[in-house]
Amino acid sequence: MRGLKNLLPLLFLFACFCSEVFIALDTITINEPMRDSATIVSASQNFKLAFFSPVNTSDRYVGIILNIPAQSVVWVANRDDPITDSAGMLTISEDGNAVILNGQKNVLWSSNVANSVANSSAQLLDTGNLVLRDNSNGRILWESFQTPTDTLVRTMKIGVISKNNMIRLTSWRSPSDPSVGNFSFGVDPLQIPEFFIWNHSKPYWRSGPWNGNVFIGIPEMSSAYQNRFDLVTDPNGSEYFTHSFINDLALLYYVLNSSGVLAEKVSYYRDGHSKVAWTSLKSECDVYGKCGPFGSCNPQHSPICICLQGFEPKNKEEWDKGNWTGGCSRKALLQCDRNISARQEGKPDGFLKLANIKIPDFAHLMELLRSATEQDCGNQCLNNCSCIAYAYSTGIGCMYWSSSLIDIQQFSFNGADLHIRVAHTELGFRKNMKAVIASTVVLGLLFLAMSAFCLRKWLTRHRGNKQNAELPLFEEWEASKKESILSDKPEQSKLEELPLYSYETLAIATDTFHLKNKLGTGGFGPVFKGILLSGQKIAVKRLSNSSNQGIKEFMNEVELISKLQHRNLVRLLGCCVEREEKMLIYEYMPNKSLDAYLFDLQKRYLLYWNRRKLIIEGIGRGLLYLHRDSRLKIIHRDLKPSNILLDEELNPKISDFGLARLFGGNQDQANTNRVVGTYGYMAPEYAMKGKFSEKSDVYSFGVLLLEIVSGKKNTSSHDDENDLSLIGYAWKLWNENEAAKLVDPALSDPRVEMEILRYVHVGLLCVQESANDRPNVSNVLSMLNSEIAELPPPKLPAYTARLGSSEGEGSQQSGHSVNDVSLTIIQGR
Ligand SMILES: *[C@@H]1O[C@H](CO)[C@@H](O)[C@H](O)[C@H]1NC(C)=O
Ligand SMILES: *[C@@H]1O[C@H](CO)[C@@H](O)[C@H](O)[C@H]1NC(C)=O
Ligand SMILES: *[C@@H]1O[C@H](CO)[C@@H](O)[C@H](O)[C@H]1NC(C)=O
Ligand SMILES: *[C@@H]1O[C@H](CO)[C@@H](O)[C@H](O)[C@H]1NC(C)=O
Ligand SMILES: *[C@@H]1O[C@H](CO)[C@@H](O)[C@H](O)[C@H]1NC(C)=O
Ligand SMILES: *[C@@H]1O[C@H](CO)[C@@H](O)[C@H](O)[C@H]1NC(C)=O
Ligand SMILES: *[C@@H]1O[C@H](CO)[C@@H](O)[C@H](O)[C@H]1NC(C)=O
Ligand SMILES: *[C@@H]1O[C@H](CO)[C@@H](O)[C@H](O)[C@H]1NC(C)=O
Ligand SMILES: *[C@@H]1O[C@H](CO)[C@@H](O)[C@H](O)[C@H]1NC(C)=O
């Protein structure tokens, strides 16, 4: 009803005097003020300017409000001076300022432009910015973005704009009182750029330094959360962040609420609902300095605070009571802190490495060459007694600390490595190691190996119940970190290696897996197109629940597969294991799959011979990498045109490699009772007996090659009399010396005919009945390149004779799709 009421006068106006309406809709002039009952709407309807009352109060305020059902107030003009009745008015004063007047015409709020001009107007822009313009030249005199309240929207600036102009968000006092509250959000000009929330003037939360890409103190900011902000600096001293993401589906903004929590909110245009995607306060540990100096906070521990290794509570009694503010102090003096005479005997200090850390506040940048390594940072720090800790981060360089270490948090993923200086006696494990080695040298090499092995075992066993901060700097530890992490918390630990996307992120990207974003379906599950908030396009494969693997094994496999990188393989960007869901995130391929071109009456002409040659070679290279050059040996087992995706330049990329592995088929065995593949592309020994090898992929490659050359599907009939498959037809023509008839008419060019015939020959070699007769991929590539001049005559290929009708059907399911897989399960015999 309400919507209709709003709409009617609008439509009416529209019909009458369109040109004037447009001005009136988003603009306030001296002659057209805005009264309490009126609303000003920005041109594309995203934001509106209106009078409103917060909850539990009848006071009236003028604010900019998100113009979707989840009405969020984005900005408040008269936040400290409410109007007590509905007689208020927003207008332009005689001196050209935007002002809010109450019923008695008292000015409650003014834009306060000192050198305002007499002729000006205020306009609400589509960004949610209210600007006051000089009508004579369009110059902007004032804008609401200069004085934000508690909300950061797109294109707003937060930080140091110029020497005397710092822009911060300030919280409301309470949900019913928009006046300036206790908390503010901004950038500390004295530090490496990072966000702070202050409670009055005391820090309450910090984001950790900006590394040019993300804030390293916000672990969730890796991968999907990347690049929400941009840092702008210039020599004039300005240093501010803006966020500039555009997403067609949703508006993303940040609100600092009255309890000092910054939340990232997403509001959907479609149905207007909004949700919190991230908050600054996920646990007590996010409160600045929770554990005091030299204390480290781990939300997964109880109690959450521990002292860093080599430190002990300053006030044991208070500490045990849970009052951690006093922090910790050193157990043993640093060599640096001892006097000169003693120093001569003392052993040098060392560094303990703590991994996955929110690095402490007050980091300084070490003046080193830009190319300095972590090692250089360490050396520099060791040689300077005022350096008590260092960390290295790509994008920032060497950071060091010289006073106390405050606001350290132990993350379970991401974060940085922090190296803290401790006295030599605190480097306990290192000493033990030396002792072990010293004794074993005497006893010989064999014993050395054994004790190292035992020590390692011991460490592995004891690692689980050690607190993180106590983990020693130790090569062994590094080496076996992976396995220990895996056994502890599989879901989180892998984040380091493989980006994990949250279900939320993917739901936003795919519009909650909306049907319109579906690219196709295969045996392993449907594939959706998605757009991340960063604008990056992705393909999300939602795996069906048929895998019986545990999460740990699944993550392991996915991680291994994600390491396979080759320009002819589709890149796996990450995965998501959440809410019973398993999803794989791939790069998005705009040109769909090979079958969409090859078997399309028009598009096939785009694939002229040289392009097809490149595609065949590319597939061969990708396959060679899977078989031979990657760390794992992977047999694809389902090569077919719909699994060959094409990038912008129509370069081929093999997709779905390794999925057979994920789904229970063991790559090291040559026999499986789960046959994954598609009829028409499966080698006979694989389809019949479940025996697979490189050569079964070569068979599929051969079919693919013949299809690319002929532009025909193997699985449809090509010879009316004999009902032959493409392979059978090719064999027949080959023996009749008529192979040229096989070639796609779209390729008719006598100059390349010899070359094409060579490809047909190689294709026939690949599909020979006996796996032993087929060349391997490396040979295939050499043959195609004419490096092997003399090709052996092909022997009888498999499946030459008849084309079973039922089997023919089974192959039709693929269609045009991206990342499509068909899964056929046949019991092995
Ligand atoms: C509004 O007032 C009611 C009743 O006093 C109270 O229960 C509610 O929590 C208040 N809401 C807010 C947001 O303060
Ligand atoms: C204000 O400026 C505009 C544009 O220059 C002009 O059309 C308008 O007449 C001016 N109004 C007044 C009151 O001076
Ligand atoms: C903010 O600081 C004030 C004192 O300055 C304190 O009373 C209040 O508890 C603090 N708020 C939080 C959430 O820490
Ligand atoms: C630096 O400041 C001057 C004067 O304030 C201004 O004209 C110039 O545009 C500024 N430079 C940048 C890069 O913003
Ligand atoms: C502020 O946000 C946090 C986290 O979303 C929430 O727990 C808290 O209740 C909010 N405070 C107010 C006053 O709304
Ligand atoms: C704001 O600070 C005052 C003290 O200055 C404190 O009494 C009040 O509880 C604080 N409010 C919040 C929401 O922290
Ligand atoms: C917490 O401990 C510090 C000393 O470490 C003390 O000064 C402070 O009063 C204690 N606070 C509370 C609430 O007990
Ligand atoms: C300096 O060293 C001497 C001998 O080791 C010791 O007696 C003395 O107390 C030390 N002085 C300080 C200030 O630590
Ligand atoms: C040691 O570090 C301090 C900063 O904490 C610096 O001022 C000093 O120059 C450094 N000394 C040397 C010898 O590098």
pLDDT tens by residue, 505-558: 888 888 888 888 888 776 577 889 998 887 888 999 888 765 556 677 777 778
Q: CA distances (Å), 666 to each of 218, 537, 669, in order?
A: 38, 32, 6
Q: Taking phi first (over 0 means left), then psi (-120 to 50 degrees means alpha), and beta for anything else, what does residue 502 get? A: beta
CA angle (507, 510, 516) in 5-degree steps: 135
Q: How confident is the model at residue 674 (pLDDT cuts 50, 70, 90)?
A: low
Q: Which ligand 3 atom is the nearest neighbour of the CA of 199?
A: 1
Q: CA distances (Å), 52 to each of 25, 36, 91, 171, 756, in order?
A: 18, 8, 16, 18, 74
The percentage of the chain sitting over the pLDDT mark of 90, rounded to a whole number, equals 41
Q: How is residue 371 written in tokens?
A: 């190319």
Better pLDDT: 446 or 66? 66
Determine the distance separating the centroid of ligand 4 and the alpha carbon of 162, expressed in angstroms: 9
Q: How is residue 57 written in tokens?
A: 């109060």
Out of 376, 383, 386, 388, give the residue to mutate to test ligand 9, the one with the largest number of ligand atoms within 8 Å of its CB.
386
CA–CA distance, 510 with 530 (Å, rounded to integer): 4
For 806, residues 6+ apart whose C-beta sits below 8 A from its C-beta are none
Q: Which ligand 7 atom is the nearest neighbour of the CA of 292?
A: 5
Q: Which ligand 2 atom is the nearest neighbour of the CA of 136?
A: 5
Ligand of minimum distance to the alpha carbon of 23 = 2
The answer to whether residue 493 scores a pLDDT higher than 50 is: no
Better pLDDT: 673 or 7? 673
Q: Phi/psi at 468 (nearest 5 deg)? A: -60, -40
| Residue 260 in contact with ligand 3 by CB distance below 6 A | yes
The answer to whether residue 765 scores a pLDDT higher than 70 is: yes
Alpha carbon nearest to ligand 1 atom 9, residue: 56
What pLDDT is stored for residue 820 in this prediction? Answer: 30
CA–CA distance, 606 with 592 (Å, rounded to integer): 14
pLDDT in tens, 280-303: 999 999 999 999 999 999 999 999
CA–CA distance, 750 with 274 (Å, rounded to integer): 63
3 state DSSP class of 347: coil
| Residue 56 in contact with ligand 1 by CB distance below 6 A | yes
| Residue 325 in contact with ligand 3 by CB distance below 6 A | no
3 state DSSP class of 393: strand
Better pLDDT: 252 or 455? 252
Determine the distance separating the centroid of ligand 4 and the alpha carbon of 239, expressed in angstroms: 13
CA–CA distance, 263 with 279 (Å, rounded to integer): 4
What pLDDT is stored for residue 786 in this prediction? Answer: 81
| Residue 384 in contact with ligand 9 by CB distance below 6 A | yes
Beta strands in 292-349 (DSSP E): 295-297, 305-307, 311-313, 328-330
The answer to whether residue 499 scores a pLDDT higher than 50 is: yes
Alpha carbon nearest to ligand 4 atom 1, residue: 236
For 619, residues 6+ apart whose C-beta sits below 8 A from its C-beta are 568, 639, 644, 652, 654, 701, 704
CA–CA distance, 472 with 469 (Å, rounded to integer): 8
Q: How confident is the model at residue 97 (pLDDT cuts 50, 70, 90)?
A: very high
pLDDT in tens, 706-751: 999 999 988 777 666 667 788 888 998 999 988 888 999 888 777 7
Q: Which ligand 2 atom is the nearest neighbour of the CA of 135?
A: 2
CA angle (319, 324, 327) in 5-degree steps: 95
| Residue 182 in contact with ligand 3 by CB distance below 6 A | yes
Name residue 256's amino acid.
Answer: L
Determine the distance separating the centroid of ligand 5 and the alpha carbon of 214, expressed in angstroms: 25
Determine the distance separating the centroid of ligand 9 and the alpha carbon of 366, expressed in angstroms: 9
Q: How confident is the model at residue 272 (pLDDT cuts 50, 70, 90)?
A: confident
| Residue 199 in contact with ligand 3 by CB distance below 6 A | yes
pLDDT in tens, 140-188: 999 999 999 999 998 999 999 988 899 999 999 999 999 999 999 999 9
Q: Phi/psi at 573 (nearest 5 deg)? A: -90, -25
Alpha carbon nearest to ligand 9 atom 12, residue: 384
Q: How confident is the model at residue 603 (pLDDT cuts 50, 70, 90)?
A: confident
Asked whether 399 and 392 are in contact (CB, 8 A), the reply is yes
Say which DSSP state 775 is in: P
| Residue 258 in contact with ligand 9 by CB distance below 6 A | no
Beta strands in 493-630 (DSSP E): 518-522, 525-531, 537-542, 572-578, 581-587
Q: Which ligand 1 atom is the nearest neighbour of the CA of 174?
A: 14
Asked whether 282 and 272 are in contact (CB, 8 A), the reply is no
Q: Is the peptide bond before 303 cis (omega within 30 degrees of 0)?
A: yes
Ligand of minimum distance to the alpha carbon of 256 = 5
What pLDDT is stored for residue 274 in this prediction? Answer: 82
Looking at the DSSP bridge assignments, the partners of residue 422 are: 350
Q: CA distances (Å), 243 to each of 126, 189, 229, 233, 312, in order?
A: 15, 19, 4, 14, 42
Q: CA distances (Å), 273 to each of 67, 277, 483, in order?
A: 12, 13, 42
Q: CA distances (Å), 311 to each of 257, 327, 356, in order?
A: 36, 9, 19
Residue 539 CA, chain-centre distance (Å), reads 13
Catalytic: which of 286, 349, 361, 638?
638
Q: Which ligand 4 atom is the nearest neighbour of the CA of 234?
A: 13
CB neighbour class for 424 (10 Å; exposed up to 12, middle 13-18, buried from 19): middle
Determine the distance separating the centroid of ligand 4 and the alpha carbon of 143, expressed in angstroms: 19
CA–CA distance, 306 with 294 (Å, rounded to integer): 9
The verdict on whether 638 is a catalytic residue reads yes
Closest CA to 264 of 272, 275, 273: 275
What pLDDT is stored for residue 312 in this prediction? Answer: 94
Mean pLDDT (whole number) for 607-613: 90
How many CB atoms are located within 10 Å of the residue 211 CB? Answer: 18
Mean pLDDT (whole number) for 324-329: 95
The percentage of the chain sitting over the pLDDT mark of 70, rounded to a whole number, equals 79
CA angle (605, 609, 615) in 5-degree steps: 95
CA angle (743, 746, 752) in 5-degree steps: 60
Structure-token match 């391929």, residue found: 589
For 414, residues 6+ apart whose C-beta sits below 8 A from its C-beta are 216, 219, 221, 222, 356, 495, 496
What pLDDT is stored for residue 424 in this prediction? Answer: 85
Domain ranges, ordered by start, for the chain? 25-145, 285-429, 489-587, 595-822
Asked whether 208 and 215 are in contact (CB, 8 A), the reply is yes
Determine the distance separating the centroid of ligand 6 and the alpha carbon of 57, expressed in angstroms: 20
CA–CA distance, 471 with 355 (Å, rounded to integer): 9
Which fold is adopted by the domain 489-587? Phosphorylase Kinase; domain 1 (3.30.200)
Ligand of minimum distance to the alpha carbon of 135 = 2
CA–CA distance, 567 with 441 (Å, rounded to integer): 48
CA–CA distance, 276 with 821 (Å, rounded to integer): 35
| Residue 172 in contact with ligand 1 by CB distance below 6 A | no
What pLDDT is stored for residue 575 in this prediction? Answer: 87
* 26-38 core/surface letters (b: 16 or more CB in 10 A; e: else): bbbbeeebbebee
Determine the distance separating the centroid of ligand 6 and the alpha carbon of 260, expressed in angstroms: 10
Say which DSSP state 569 is in: B
Q: How confident is the model at residue 345 (pLDDT cuts 50, 70, 90)?
A: low
Which fold is adopted by the domain 25-145? Agglutinin, subunit A (2.90.10)
Beta strands in 367-501 (DSSP E): 389-393, 397-401, 408-410, 416-422
The answer to whether residue 496 scores a pLDDT higher than 80 is: no
User: What is the average pLDDT value for the chain, to the nearest integer?
Assistant: 80
Better pLDDT: 222 or 23? 222
Asked whether 47 and 124 are in contact (CB, 8 A), the reply is yes
Looking at the DSSP bridge assignments, the partners of residue 34 are: 90
| Residue 201 in contact with ligand 3 by CB distance below 6 A | no
Question: What pTM does this model have?
Answer: 0.61
What pLDDT is stored for residue 78 in this prediction? Answer: 96
Q: What is the dihedral of CA 393, 398, 403, 409, to 10 degrees?
A: 10
What pLDDT is stored for residue 579 in this prediction? Answer: 67
Determine the distance separating the centroid of ligand 9 and the alpha carbon of 386, expressed in angstroms: 7
Mean pLDDT (whole number) for 755-783: 92
Q: Is the dihedral of CA 134, 140, 143, 146 positive or negative?
A: negative
Looking at the DSSP bridge assignments, the partners of residue 569 are: 654
What pLDDT is stored for residue 254 in this prediction? Answer: 94
Element (H, E) at 365: strand 364-365
Beta strands in 480-542 (DSSP E): 518-522, 525-531, 537-542
| Residue 339 in contact with ligand 8 by CB distance below 6 A | yes
| Residue 72 in contact with ligand 9 by CB distance below 6 A | no
Alpha carbon nearest to ligand 6 atom 9, residue: 182
Asked whether 574 and 586 are in contact (CB, 8 A), the reply is no
Closest CA to 542 of 489, 578, 568: 578
The answer to whether residue 564 scores a pLDDT higher than 50 is: yes
Determine the distance separating the centroid of ligand 8 and the alpha carbon of 339, expressed in angstroms: 6
Beta strands in 610-758 (DSSP E): 644-646, 652-654
Q: Which ligand 2 atom is the nearest neighbour of the CA of 30?
A: 13
pLDDT in tens, 236-266: 789 999 987 776 677 889 999 999 999 988 8
The answer to whether residue 226 scores a pLDDT higher than 70 is: no
What pLDDT is stored for residue 363 in this prediction? Answer: 93
Better pLDDT: 786 or 153? 153
Ligand of minimum distance to the alpha carbon of 279 = 5
Which residues surround ligand 2 with Cβ inside 6 Å? 119, 135-136
Closest CA to 637 of 652, 618, 623, 617: 623
CA–CA distance, 756 with 505 (Å, rounded to integer): 47
The answer to whether residue 223 scores a pLDDT higher than 50 is: no
Q: How confident is the model at residue 428 (pLDDT cuts 50, 70, 90)?
A: low
3 state DSSP class of 193: coil
Structure-token match 């007689």, residue found: 87
Domain 595-822, CATH homologous superfamily name and number: Transferase(Phosphotransferase) domain 1 (1.10.510.10)
Q: How is residue 382 written in tokens?
A: 């060791």
3 state DSSP class of 96: coil
pLDDT in tens, 355-413: 999 999 999 988 776 677 888 899 999 988 899 999 998 888 899 999 899 999 999 87
Instruction: Write the DSSP assignment of 209-269 as a string of letters.
Output: -B-SSSBTT-GGGTGGGTTSEEEEE-TTS-EEEEE----SSEEEEEEE-TTS-EEEEEEET
Ligand of minimum distance to the alpha carbon of 342 = 8
Tell me the residue length of the chain. Answer: 829
